[in-house]
Amino acid sequence: MAKSWEEINARIASGEAVVFTAEEFASLAADEGVSAAAKRVDVVTTGTFGPMCSSGVILNFGHSDPPIRMAEVWLNDVAAYGGLAAVDTYLGVTQPSTTRGLEYGGAHVIEDLLRGRAVRLRATSPGTDCYPRTEIDTWITLDDLNQAYFFNPRNAYQNYAVAVNTTDRALHTYLGTLLPRLGNATYCSAGALSPLLNDPTYRTIGVGSRIFVAGAPGYVAWEGTQHNPHADRDEHGVPVRPAGTLAVIADLKAASPEFFSAASFTGYGVSSFVGIGVPIPVLDEEIAATLALTDADITATIYDYGVAGRSRPSFGTVSYAQLRTGSITVEGKKVPTGPISSLPKARKIAAELKRWIAEERFAIAEPLQLLPQVGSQAQKPLDIRTGEAI
């Protein structure tokens, strides 16, 4: 019953494509079997909405008169990168404000821009013959910018850790507040709706895939940083710990604050929730089998964040279905759980992407290049050494 990318795109173009979200597809497969579901459905949509620190925007401000080569740049007192051309910058979501600290950062500037709010731009420069201006202090809005696009080096982590804390004090982490003595557990994945968990071996998601980024049509630009296909996998071939990642690109001007939300984690810092959705073509029964997996089939590994080292001790794995009940058992103790990745938003994203494909005839794209597969370069740690030792 194999279907080709071309066949599926032709059905999308003619408005005949059958599009299901990953949750809908799993329940169809449970009722009618994987092979019937694979026959009937052309595209399955996925979604995720979790904090993704490795995100940011490339902005071009246009030239002032006289012009300036911006060497130091601040947007609402949040420093942006000054090491690009005169009026280009990169603003990362985690950069904290020089005046409001961790309560306001790069992510908040981006959210303010998306909400149509004016943002104060300040820049300084040593001044040169072709760029004589040494200072600028003005206000900009998203509409004023020439180019404004997301370039997020690492989004859509394929699975994540479940965090617990065995120490005697509360820890403030990027996975939230972890209460002492196994007081709670937090986890961060859309589970059965998560893009890369639905295509665990990166058959259909690769460089050039057309995707949903914060409400805008975008692309997978490259493998994400720390992309690691070698993580342990279960019997379905699905990783049981953090594994693959995506670098994504999309127009900020087409994005929506409904699918991009700034976040401040007390004691940790600034980050942003980014909505990512990826369509997966039901090419054959093999891919249909992973698309049919539910939260009961997908597991994550529990780690002790009380140990701040590279290799944290693990307490085994637990299914997302169990995590979503509100408590798990660790070391014989009942531990309340809290997610960080918003499932209601992930569902909205998968539904919105389904609408794009079914109604707006959003075409899907075969990868121009596959993401690194098992057997590619392993993730390397950073060793601390001297120049002489190299």
Active site amino acids: 130
Identified binder of other proteins from the candidate list 342, 350, 352, 371, rule CB under 8 A: 342
Task: Give burial (CB, 10 Å; 0-12/13-18/19+) of 83.
Answer: exposed
Q: Are 223 and 385 in contact (CB under 8 A)?
A: no
Identified binder of other proteins from the candidate list 340, 353, 357, 371, rule CB under 8 A: 340
In the complex, the smallest distance separating the C-beta of residue 258 from other proteins, rounded to whole angstroms, is 9
325 binds other proteins (CB under 8 A): yes
Of 167-206, which residues contact other proteins (CB under 8 A)? 176-177, 179, 184-186
Kindly indicate which of the ranges 21-29, 114-122, 221-229, 343-351 contains the residues binding other proteins, using the contact rule CB under 8 A.
343-351
Of 279-308, which residues contact other proteins (CB under 8 A)? none
Nearer to other proteins, 181 or 379 (CB): 181
Nearer to other proteins, 60 or 173 (CB): 173
Q: Are 76 and 112 in contact (CB under 8 A)?
A: yes
In the complex, the smallest distance separating the C-beta of residue 32 from other proteins, rounded to whole angstroms, is 23
- What does the block give as tokens for 2? 């194999």
Nearer to other proteins, 150 or 219 (CB): 150
Kindly indicate which of the ranges 9-17, 90-98, 235-243, 257-265 contains the residues binding other proteins, using the contact rule CB under 8 A.
257-265
Identified binder of other proteins from the candidate list 337, 349, 357, 362, rule CB under 8 A: 337
SS (H, E, C) the chain: CCCCHHHHHHHHHCCCCCEEEHHHHHHHHHHHCHHHHHHHCCEEECCEEEECCCCEEEEECCCCCCCCCCCEEEECCEEECCCCCCCEEEEECCCEECCCEEEEEHHHHHHHHHCCCCEEEEEECCCCCCCCCCEEEEEECHHHCCEEEEEEEEECCCCCCEEECCCCCCEEECCEEECCCCCCEEECCCHHHCHHHHCCCCCCCCECCEEEECCEEEEEEEECCCCCCCCCECCCCCECCCCCCEEEEEEHHHCCCCCEEEEEECCCEEEEEEEEECEEECCCHHHHHHHCCCCCCCEEEEEECCCCCCCCCEEEEEEHHHHHCCEEEECCEEEEEEECCCHHHHHHHHHHHHHHHHHCCCCCCCCCECCCCCCCCCCCCCCCCCHHHC
215 binds other proteins (CB under 8 A): no
In the complex, the smallest distance separating the C-beta of residue 382 from other proteins, rounded to whole angstroms, is 28
Kindly indicate which of the ranges 3-11, 36-44, 233-241, 266-274 contains the residues binding other proteins, using the contact rule CB under 8 A.
266-274
Nearer to other proteins, 125 or 186 (CB): 186
In the complex, the smallest distance separating the C-beta of residue 342 from other proteins, rounded to whole angstroms, is 5
In the complex, the smallest distance separating the C-beta of residue 116 from other proteins, rounded to whole angstroms, is 16
Nearest CA-CA partner of 228 in 127, 140, 278, 154: 154
In the complex, the smallest distance separating the C-beta of residue 67 from other proteins, rounded to whole angstroms, is 39
Kindly indicate which of the ranges 123-131, 135-143, 322-330, 372-380 contains the residues binding other proteins, using the contact rule CB under 8 A.
322-330
125 binds other proteins (CB under 8 A): no
Binding-site size, other proteins (CB under 8 A): 31
Identified binder of other proteins from the candidate list 28, 216, 252, 263, rule CB under 8 A: 263
92 binds other proteins (CB under 8 A): no
Nearer to other proteins, 188 or 358 (CB): 188
261 binds other proteins (CB under 8 A): yes
Given the rule CB under 8 A, which residues bind other proteins?
49-51, 103, 176-177, 179, 184-186, 261-266, 271, 273, 324-326, 336-345
